[in-house]
Amino acid sequence: MTIERVISDQARLTPNKVALIDGDATVTYQQLWQEIELSAAWFRAHASPGDRVLLAASNCLAFVYAYFGSHLAGMICVPVDPETNENRLNRIIHIARPALIVGEFRHGAGHNALPVKNCEPPGCDALSHPDENQVADLMFTTGTTGLPKGVMLTYANEMAAANNINSFIGNTGHDVEMLALPVAHSFGLGRLRCVLAMGATMVLIPSFASMKKFFGTIERHQVTGFAMVPASWNYIGKMSGDRIGHFAKQLKYIEIGSAFMSLEQKMKLMELLPNTRICMHYGLTEASRSAFISFHDDKEHLTTVGRPSPNTAIAVFNDQGDSLGSNQDGEICVKGNHVCAGYWGVPHDVFRHDFNNDYFRTGDWGHIDEDGYVCLVSRVKEIINVGGKKVSPLEVEEHLNAIDGIMEAACVGVRDELLGEVVKAFCVCARNVDFEHVRKQLSHEIENYKIPVYFESVHQLPKTPNGKLQRLLLKG
């Protein structure tokens, strides 16, 4: 079973059910499938099965048709943000070597991109559904280093992830979800697949920028759920106060992910939406939504990232590859049918180095507590080794962020002759901050070896488009 086959079945069984809404346009499942078939026929006329198609991904109907159409034609889709800078776009093109570049990129760098709106099909040939073990997508991660890596996701991977997510959140075919997250990234694109895999309705809006459009869409279409990153919640609160609480009886679910969210933010959202299933996931492009927490159900464990998702196993391993018990820190590793098939251009035996037995190594450091909740400490590569003692940058940053005048902080390890590494803090400050005073304040809260030896004021911290902090870029 693939998501494309589910859409085809929905078109046959419930042809008049609304699948997509984009502005004034309403598309039924029958119309959606017809557009996908037309798109697939066009792709078949211009490329061959197995070819890569670089697709400018934006929240519009044309993208949805082209995305699923390229799949039905047997192509491998490479969704890319239309705003991608020239260097990154060139690197992705160099790795993926696409046969077609479809859509409109802001920094096209002279590449021959075909506008989606001009993709007129020459006629429908007989098309067959792709095999579930074939590669459907190449998702290029930003990663903590900023260097893109092509994650190969099969149709089976994507169907397994959608089933796991829908099972935990409790989605049904009666849901109406608003999508404001960019479909160029795995979170937003995953939500599109989840909704269509349930035969539900997706309402597309460009972004969270307009609160008038955001709340107007929720009210006009009787939206039952949406997804966001913590930065979106910060923006919603800043621009509209507690207005989201007016929809407490209407909103059935919210999915949150992709970045750290403070306990204070979580509590505020729970207060405004006491009956909404507020779910936050942990995962990565290679293993989408591997753990979940439900804020109301797991209110005693809100500092964790939850427990393994349905049909998923999580274990912690040490550097020697030995499985660890409860409350023992090591590398968090994930097993399940949603784990990616490999990296594009990387031999499979090399890719298998990223596994401990059948568990994919996430690169995250942490432990599983006695109740089965996963507790993140840091990225493995971001752990700071001060004279043999491991320091989590997250812990130090949490204390720094609570200090008056410091808006946001990021910590990395820098070379030290005596200790090997010491902590350096980069701080975005609202005003001049006396860092000697900061050191004294921290001395009452954390161990001495965790206190930053060096401080540097910066205007902003490097982040991915989804808001993930890129600490390794600070190491220069």
pLDDT at 100: 93
103 and 128 in a single domain? The answer is yes
The whole-chain average pLDDT of the chain stands at 92
**Distance between start and end Cα atoms, the chain:** 46
Phi and psi at 160, nearest 5°, equal -65, -45
Q: How many domains does the chain have?
A: 2
What is the average per-residue pLDDT within 185-203?
A: 96
Label residue 198 by pLDDT band (50, 70, 90).
very high
415 and 311 in a single domain? The answer is no
pLDDT at 66: 94
* pLDDT tens by residue, 371-421: 999 998 877 778 898 887 888 898 899 899 999 999 999 999 998 888 888
174 and 258 in a single domain? The answer is yes
225 and 315 in a single domain? The answer is yes
334 and 391 in a single domain? The answer is no
Residue 203 has pLDDT above 80, yes or no: yes
407 and 366 in a single domain? The answer is no
What is the average per-residue pLDDT within 42-60?
A: 93
- Domain C-terminal end among 374, 407, 424: 374
pLDDT at 360: 97
394 and 361 in a single domain? The answer is no
- Domain C-terminal end among 321, 342, 374: 374
Distances (CA, A) of 303 to 263, 266, 293, 464: 7, 10, 10, 23
What is the average per-residue pLDDT within 216-221?
A: 97
Token code pair at residue 217:
């869409």
Give the least confident one: 205-209, 310-314, 379-383, 409-413.
379-383
Q: At 395, which CATH number? A: 3.30.300.30
Label residue 145 by pLDDT band (50, 70, 90).
very low
Long-range contact set of residues 135-139: C-beta below 8 Å, sequence gap at least 24: 135/76, 135/341, 136/2, 136/71, 136/76, 136/77, 137/76, 137/77, 137/78, 137/79, 138/52, 138/76, 138/77, 138/78, 138/96, 138/344, 139/79, 139/186, 139/189, 139/285
Number of alpha carbons in the 13 Å side-chain half-sphere of residue 452: 25
* pLDDT tens by residue, 95-144: 999 999 998 888 766 677 787 777 666 665 667 889 999 999 999 986 54
105 and 219 in a single domain? The answer is yes
416 and 288 in a single domain? The answer is no
pLDDT at 144: 45
- Which domain range does residue 461 map to? 383-475
Q: At 124, which CATH number? A: 3.40.50.12780
Are 214 and 205 a contacting pair, CB within 8 Å? yes
187 and 293 in a single domain? The answer is yes
294 and 268 in a single domain? The answer is yes
338 and 394 in a single domain? The answer is no
Are 132 and 2 a contacting pair, CB within 8 Å? yes
pLDDT at 261: 86
Give the least confident one: 7-21, 134-148, 299-313, 434-448.
134-148
- Domain C-terminal end among 374, 409, 431: 374
